[in-house]
A and B are shown apart, each in its own frame.
Chain A
Amino acid sequence: KAPDLSSVNKVSNVFEDVEFCVMTGTGKYSKSELESRIAECGGSVVQNPGPDTYCVIVGAENVRVKNIIASNKYDVVRAEWLLQCFQTKMLVPWQPAFMVHMSPDTKEHFAREYDRYGDSYTADTDVAQLKEVFSRMKGNKVMPLDMIAELEERYSWNSCQLSIFRGNTIYVDCYAIVNEPRTKIHGTTLSIRALELRFYGAKVVSYLDEGVSHVVVGEDHSRVKEMKALRRTFGKKFKIVSELWVTQSVEEGVPKNENQYLI
């Protein structure tokens, strides 16, 4: 049912000759509120989109909205855009963040300006915008640590204090029997060291396999002999260092040379 907008006082001409179809309201503004404010700005409102409708305004998504999207004929825009127009008394340009759905024409236009995640090809971004772009990316594939290490090296971020141990694969000697994760010794400082190593970028493993770069040991040296024997069978040798290597590297914010911590 169309609202009676004949008694509305016009406050601006921002939407002069522009036809809207408001589907739903937001939590703060009802559908009819949005409609009367469009009328105040000189726009017209229809209840079903037609060939002259500029765009469909959506506050909350529902079945009708989904059908409109499925028809792929109209630009479906968030009510936030409308609110920004009211606020600035201007026709705010559409940005990817405002778009719930784009008609094929609009999509093509956007594709020239923005990538598929809504980041502009030409305009600089900032923290807020990038956050917004990131938040709209769906599906979070998690990047493995070694890829992060490569990336950091590529962009010279590897001097970052949070990446002291990046690229290292480390076995912490906190298992009563080597390579038996079930025999973990609890409540020792070594388990804290393991967490520190991870926090500062290392890959901490629970098996002492070929490919491990460091073994960190605490006060208990009873398994060192066994680990050294294991090392002789490896092609790529790991370094056995005391946990001081970890604490002092963290304290100074740079990876310390292992040689003074060798066991």
Chain B
Amino acid sequence: MEKTLNRIHPVSNPEETYFLQVSWEKDLGTGFGIILSDGQCAWTGKVSEAEISREAADMEMNREKYVEELKNALIAGEESTGKYDFVISRDEENVECHFSYEKNLKDGSFRLGSLKLQKVLSPAEVVKELIGYCLDRLGRLQAKNEHLQKENERLFSDWRDVEKRLEKCVEAKEELEADLYNRFILVLNEKKAKIRNLQKLLNEAKESEGDG
């Protein structure tokens, strides 16, 4: 089971804040559950796979594309703020709550879905669950953060180590090369000196031949 918790603001009163929890199995397209709370009251509802298919068909929309829109509207959080509107209307006794989500377009908006939510009898339990969810998530994120930070430190120190080793290899290669070339030159020059000497002897021999 996967869950997200987002803060939403109803279009009718943007000052108001509601907490929207969406829960689903594997994929949003196979149906999802909703918990909506203003911190005091809480409402719950379910959208089935069949309803999702029907909504998509009613809108003459590709199902996958529709599910993608649902994801953006209900679980994407911050990055989709402003692109989607939420309409929340509750009756006097807070027994029923009408919840709908709409995609914001340049010229008006169109409704992605709506459902009737039922009042939860013990809202405190729901709020507890929501806070619990936040704390769990915070804990997990902190642990992950620590792990990543350690990993990062390890990678960085590995990098420095490898860099130092590479530098040593490069230095050794440069030294070896310079040393070998130096030795090569010394031996090569010995050969050239010998050739010069032989040339000299040859010239001397030619001269003495000429003399004779």
Chain A residues with a Cβ under 8 A of chain B: 115-117, 119, 121, 130, 133-134, 137, 140-145, 147-148, 151, 186-187, 191-192, 195, 198-199
Query: Given the complex, which residues of A lie within 8 Å of B202, measured CB to CB?
Result: none
* 12 pairs, A vs B, C-beta closer than 8 Å: A115-B187, A115-B191, A115-B194, A116-B190, A117-B187, A121-B191, A133-B183, A134-B180, A143-B182, A147-B181, A187-B160, A199-B170
Nearest Cβ distance between residue B189 and chain A, in whole angstroms? 9
Structural contact, B173 and A199, CB atoms closer than 8 A: yes
A204 to chain B: closest residue by CB: B170
Structural contact, A195 and B178, CB atoms closer than 8 A: no
Structural contact, A115 and B170, CB atoms closer than 8 A: no
Alpha-carbon gap, A185 to B147, bound state (A): 26
Query: Given the complex, which residues of B lie within 8 Å of A198, measured CB to CB?
Result: 170, 174
Q: Is B166 positioned at the interface, with any CB of A under 8 Å from its CB?
A: yes
Nearest Cβ distance between residue A143 and chain B, in whole angstroms? 5
Structural contact, B190 and A192, CB atoms closer than 8 A: no
Nearest Cβ distance between residue A229 and chain B, in whole angstroms? 31
Structural contact, B190 and A119, CB atoms closer than 8 A: yes
Structural contact, B178 and A142, CB atoms closer than 8 A: yes
Nearest Cβ distance between residue B186 and chain A, in whole angstroms? 6
Nearest Cβ distance between residue A88 and chain B, in whole angstroms? 27
Structural contact, A192 and B175, CB atoms closer than 8 A: no
Q: Is B57 positioned at the interface, with any CB of A under 8 Å from its CB?
A: no
A116 to chain B: closest residue by CB: B190
Structural contact, A117 and B170, CB atoms closer than 8 A: no
Query: Given the complex, which residues of B lie within 8 Å of A151, measured CB to CB?
Result: 181, 185
Q: Is B177 positioned at the interface, with any CB of A under 8 Å from its CB?
A: yes
Structural contact, A143 and B190, CB atoms closer than 8 A: no
Q: Is B110 positioned at the interface, with any CB of A under 8 Å from its CB?
A: no
Structural contact, B194 and A187, CB atoms closer than 8 A: no
Query: Given the complex, which residues of B lie within 8 Å of A141, measured CB to CB?
Result: 182
Alpha-carbon gap, A133 to B186, bound state (A): 11
Alpha-carbon gap, A144 to B185, bound state (A): 13
Nearest Cβ distance between residue A162 and chain B, in whole angstroms? 8
